[in-house]
Amino acid sequence: MPQLTVGLAAAGCLAGLTGCNNANLTRREAVVHFDPSATVADHNAARAACATAAPNASPEPAPSATTRGVSPPYDVRFRVDHASDRDLNQLEQCLRHQRGVVGIDIPDADG
């Protein structure tokens, strides 16, 4: 009987997750990685230069001095929730031409 209860609870959780349109489940972002010697100006320039590089990729605002949890090497991020492979490629091509950028990473939505 306990196995049936656990199975029903798991099925209920799965149905709840698949049936809702939770923004946190579809949130995707590209994290730009910089060389440690890159300056704040390099970070800001990359964000600005690639802001319109792809139609479905938009830069997140620069973190303020009071923002916690964002370390300087990862402070440039682009929302790519609805970006196609082409959009991601356009963004990556733009970022490759920016001073101090060493790559981008698009973490899985679940972590």
Query: Model confidence over 62-107: pLDDT tens digits?
Result: 877 655 555 566 689 999 999 999 999 999 999 999 999 999 998 8
Q: According to the model, what pLDDT value does residue 27 have?
A: 86
Contacts of residues 56-62 at CB distance under 8 Å and 24 or more positions apart, as own/partner, are 56/80, 56/81, 56/82, 56/83, 56/84, 56/87, 57/30, 57/83, 57/87, 57/88, 57/90, 57/91, 60/29
Whole-prediction pTM:
0.69
d(CA 104, CA 111): 16
**CATH class entry, domain 26-105:** alpha beta
More confident position, 11 or 39: 39
Query: Model confidence over 14-27: pLDDT tens digits?
Result: 444 444 454 555 78
- Judged by DSSP in three states, 30 sits in strand
